[in-house]
Chains A and B, each alone.
Chain A
Amino acid sequence: MKLTESLSFRNVTGRPGRSAALVILTFLMAVSVVCGTLTVTSLRTGLGALEARLGADIMTVPASAVSKQNFENIVMQGSKGYFYMDRSYYDKAAEREGIEKISFQLYLASASAGCCSVPLQIIGYDPETDFTVSPWIRKSAGRELGDLDVVVGNDLSVFVGSTITFYGVECNVAAKLDKTGTDLDTAVYTNLNTIKKLIASSVELGMNEFTDIDPDRVVSCILIKVADGYPVDEVLNDLNLHVRRTKSFRTKDMISGVSDSLTGVSDIVGVLMCAVWLLGLAVLFLAFRMSVNERKKEFAVLRIAGASKKKLAGIVMSEALMITLAGAAVGIIIGLLMMISFNGLIEESTGLPFLLPDGGAVALCAVFALAVSVIGGMISAVWTAGRISRIDAGVILRGEN
């Protein structure tokens, strides 16, 4: 027998208003599950990508030029800014004990990025000593960067092979980095020679706040990887004590703020998801019960016509399956469409690393949401199905119940 000819299907389509209300309810349950699960997964994926990109254990910056908050804003929130300290601080830090790898970066904020009036953060690294961004750049570009080559963050809509101009210096876009889900995705990375050229050009054009700096004699940020066997806190204290006029931060402390916020957001999403799900389950239970109560006489007639108890329960369960499956399928499609389309807006409005997982994980979330919604709907119909299978047809038709 075709599905469209079955009694359950006719029952569902025969009362479009009631069925639509139940479909909308399961739709809302599926949307809340798929969006909630994807949000939590994306936040965790983003944090993982951010930890991997930052790389260093300790970051040292000039104390006078920047507070921890400002520096965090530049690294984590994508605020544009630059500050410099004498290169001798880098040499002093390199002499301290417990340092396995040490490198430095030079920062510069562009005045304009060609098409849009929004400045970009330009980060110059030393390819000879770098251990943080080089692995990412090699992975994306497939080679070391040449002079006047730049690697752009994933959020910049420029094509590999095109050119981009900063302070009158034309640079080649050599590669695009993988997405991190943070504002690091709007940064531009380049080697030391190029950033020095850009800084010199910005000074020449009178567009740099630091009018008398020699790009060969300054650094913006020192990146340190602590050697095995040395506690990071000990090396951090040593640097703060002996390399004066600088301020060192533990990278994990900066991420811990993000991690705390992420835990808070995940908890709220989890509670909301559970609340919507439990509420939906309760309403579905009542709706199925009321809808079957209304049709008691129909079921009693079916029973007298020879339908078994199992058959009656089967009709109720297949009605519930059709309704929950339809609602869940539409809910998952709409939920995925919203999450995939608006992930950039979520990233911007939460200020947290938000990176959608790969296709396989997204599909897994969809399957999970479908299973949870359909199983939830079926559970709420089980009691009603059991009750209808035990009806006394005679009593109901005599109108005594």
Chain B
Amino acid sequence: MKILKQRWAGIVLTALSLFLTIGVKTVFAACGPKEDGSWMACHWAEQAVFASGIVLSCISVMILLISDEKVRLGLSLAVIPAAAVTALIPGVFSGLCMMTNMHCHTVTRPSVTVISVLIAAAALVDVIIKLRSRKGGSR
């Protein structure tokens, strides 16, 4: 129970980051290739989110495994901007398909946005809790 209390952020962040990384290639992947075999614009957004998901997963696993409290705080802080940037990849940093009723607009983009926001929120809550406990401990 104590481990769960201390490592909840690492568990939640790892689960969400892995879901983002695997999901963007499976359940909420972008549109498939065109008839001529070439890729649509959204494919490159999918690739970028996949790469970003790998980075987030690595950081989350480190939060889970590293025992130094200060290092974990720093890693949690790093997750917040990384997740925010990931949320903006589809549609802002990388273009999607032309019609907004296509799969990349209706499924990929909202899924990436929601999961990234949840990752950033979980990391933010973890940072606040860690900072409060540090403040409480230093009194």
Contacts and interface: CB of A to CB of B under 8 A. Distances in A.
Nearest to B1: A17
Contact of A185 (B101, B110, B113): B101
B114 A157 contact: no
Nearest to A345: B106
A348 B101 contact: yes
Given A337-B117, A344-B106, A155 B34 contact: no
Contact of A116 (B98, B106, B110, B117): B98
B99 A118 contact: yes
- Which residue among A78, A154, A158, A186 has the maximum number of chain B CB atoms within 10 Å of its CB? A186
Interface string B25-41: 00000010011100011
B101 A344 contact: yes
A157 B110 contact: no
Interface in A339-354: 341-342, 344-345, 347-348
B81 interface: no
A185 B96 CA distance: 17
B11 interface: no
A135 interface: no
A344 B107 CA distance: 8
Interface string A327-345: 0000000000110011011
Interface of B: prevailing SS: loop
A338 B99 contact: no
Contacts of B102: 116, 118
Interface of A: prevailing SS: loop
A114 interface: yes
Contact of A345 (B34, B40, B95, B110): B110
A213 B34 CA distance: 31
A345 B98 contact: no
A3 interface: no
A180 to B, nearest CB: 12
Contact of B110 (A78, A158, A342): A342
Nearest to B41: A115
Interface string B74-113: 0000000000000000000001111111100111011101
A155 B114 CA distance: 21
Given A115-B40, A345-B106, A156 B98 contact: yes
Contacts of B106: 342, 344-345, 347-348
Contact of A115 (B97, B110, B111, B114): B97
A17 to B, nearest CB: 9
A158 B106 CA distance: 17
Given A155-B100, A156-B98, A157-B97, A116 B114 contact: no
Contacts of A157: 95-100, 105
A118 B31 CA distance: 11
A183 B101 contact: yes
Contacts of B41: 115-116
B115 to A, nearest CB: 10
16 contacts: A113-B98, A115-B40, A116-B99, A117-B35, A155-B99, A156-B98, A156-B99, A157-B97, A157-B100, A185-B101, A186-B99, A341-B111, A342-B110, A344-B106, A345-B107, A348-B106
Q: Which 3 A-B pairs have the closest CB atoms?
A: A341-B110, A344-B106, A155-B100
